[in-house]
Amino acid sequence: MHIDIAHPSVEEAPVISELAELITPLVHQQGMTPTALSGVSLLSLDRHQPRTPLLYQPSLIIIAQGRKIGYLGDREIHYNPGQYLVQTLPLPFECETHGSPEAPLLGVSIQLEPALLSEMVTTMGDAAPSHNQTTLPMASVAMTAGMQAAVLRLVNALREPTELNTMGTTRIRDVVFEALKGEQGQALKALVRGHGHYARIVQVLSLLHRDFANDYSVDQLARQAHMSPSTFHQHFKQITRASPTQYIKQLRLIKAQQLLLQDDHNVSQAAQTVGYRSVPQFSRDYKRYFGDAPLQHRRHEQAMRS
């Protein structure tokens, strides 16, 4: 088990406390609260949520209070107050959330828009990175002073309609710019530059997310990545911490969960939509992954939200 923990400095505590105070009056529900600024949501959870499968879209997730632990294969990723998660790929993983009624989890999620990222990376040019950076699809990063200031400006804008309408997109750019300068900036830049094994695996993952119900073979995916099957399998597992077959199964099950919980599909409809030919096999795989059979899981999640 590889445990990844970013260590914020002591000086960050007053700023993070201020951030939590700013977020508190803006959240109106458990989980994600969308804001008037497209792509920006606020996080709040006043209880402990045990380890459960999730799928985050490429995003930055800043924690102001409480903490989260992500589990990606053999990696354990801690992100606590004063840290932010850089999620460059839509990877199925498992997440545990620690919050309480007295000190709920509070945070900000900023979706990474490809067009904005591409424009900013191109404008920044190919200057050599200032850190000894390792390209990871998911990593916890300590907030710099620049990132703290950028996030505070963003959350303050959410509280002021005039500033939000005038400066909202600029505030998002501020935060993304700080992330591009940070420890995982190279991972973000790799999404745009399209060079190397990492970028080829990104292209394959994009294909799988567009067409997850299709039964792709490893050989087909390897050809898509312009790699031999053995090289493709090696790099795919190195990045996603799962084999291609495991990844596709996890992706399908999480997509099915979304259909069951959000779109009110029945079990047979959800199974067929995500590419399962056998409903009993789907139910077995679902229970193995989520811990409950599909309908039991839906009832449990609905009860938690009510």
Give, in order, the Cα–Cα distances in Å from 13 to each of 44, 143, 179, 283.
19, 11, 20, 46
- Under the banding of pLDDT at 50, 70 and 90, the label for residue 10 is very low
CB 80 within 8 A of CB 8: yes
Q: What per-residue confidence (pLDDT) applies to 159? A: 93
Q: What per-residue confidence (pLDDT) applies to 98? A: 95
Quick one: tokens of 164? 């939000």
CB 30 within 8 A of CB 114: no
Q: What percent of the chain has pLDDT over 70?
A: 91
- In tens, the pLDDT along 254-265 reads 999 989 887 678
- Under the banding of pLDDT at 50, 70 and 90, the label for residue 211 is very high
Query: Distance between CA atoms of 155 and 250, rounded to whole angstroms?
Result: 34
- In tens, the pLDDT along 252-293 reads 999 999 898 876 789 999 999 999 999 999 999 999 998 888
Is residue 160's pLDDT more than 50?
Answer: yes
CB 139 within 8 A of CB 72: no
Domain architecture of the chain: domains with CATH: 2-192 (2.60.120.10), 194-305 (1.10.10.60)
Is residue 93's pLDDT more than 50?
Answer: yes
The 10 Å Cβ neighbour count of residue 122 is: 12
Phi-psi region of 293 (alpha: psi -120 to 50; beta: other; left: phi over 0): beta
Q: What per-residue confidence (pLDDT) applies to 303? A: 65
Say what the pTM is.
Answer: 0.82
Query: Distance between CA atoms of 232 and 240, rounded to whole angstroms?
Result: 12
In DSSP notation, 196-224 reads HHHHHHHHHHHHHHHSTTS---HHHHHHH
Reduce the DSSP state of residue 63 to 3 states and report it: strand
Cross-strand partners of 44: 31, 106
The residues near 37 (Cβ < 8 Å, ≥ 6 apart) are 157, 158, 164, 168, 169, 171, 172
Quick one: tokens of 291? 């811990």
Cross-strand partners of 49: 97
Alpha-helical (H) ranges within the chain are 13-23, 114-124, 145-159, 161-181, 185-193, 196-210, 218-224, 229-240, 244-262, 267-273, 279-290, 294-305
Question: Strands 49-55, 2-5: parallel, antiparallel or unpaired by DSSP?
Answer: unpaired
- In tens, the pLDDT along 119-133 reads 998 888 765 544 455
